Structure 1
């Protein structure tokens, strides 16, 4: 498959992912037993892994195929600017209004330093819950960058180790009800 056809296919997957995210957020509050409907459960299960797959594929093209040569420090600076700065700025800007309006919220937030720190790092305490993926993507990109640099000639081994750790993490997170990032 030619490179332009691959990119076109990725563009199609991106559009599909956006549609699935919009549907997921639109139908989230739908009353009744709709959440038990197989189609709803299917696209809820597929939409975020689809974005992770697309990101990983494009990341691989930029790093491996084009021999992306940048230092770890420059890579982290760039990703922090693009992902963490907006995340922190929006969290800081929304924390105070959310804490002030806690009496009207389903889940009140205290106006103290512990609540503020929790609102940055724990997914069940975020002030803007829809931004949970920004720090997660930052960590995944940094781990991937380091892994690709370390396992340059053995990428299959890196992917195998990553897959095993992902599966183990999935079961541990569900078991411990861990909400960090």
Structure 2
């Protein structure tokens, strides 16, 4: 197994374990065993657990941006429909097996107070989402204030769905988004 494959196996195993059990609950040896790599190989690629956590969050950020952008693009050319596609994307995600909320919110809740790098990564991720929403809102002809409101709806839906286990949080957020969008562009 080459370095690229070992790295991928470690990150995939860590991501799955962290999402299922929590960042603090999973040790390096559990990641190593799940990845099927030696401890020496793991520590060569990731000198500390923090390095693994940071790499998982960076990878998760890239995945989130790509899959969200794909969902929005699939909504077509209508700016309003593209904004609402964010909530359809969330609903599909909330219905997946093993949905446990936003990995970034989870990481911040567990590690953000004691790990400044994790806190920075999470803040950067959330700021990127705000900028993405701002670009979509600009296309619909509304102000950045609407972007902040719509992002808060999406963030709240993620937390609500994770805690309640009810994917309807996305549809409820979408209904509220429709009202806000209509009021902003009226």
Please identify the structure whose Cα radius of gyration is greater: 1
* Range into which the TM-score falls when normalised by the shorter chain: 0.3 to 0.5
Query: Structure 2-normalised TM-score?
Result: 0.33
Higher relative contact order (CA 8 A, sep 6+): 2
Query: Structure 1-normalised TM-score?
Result: 0.33
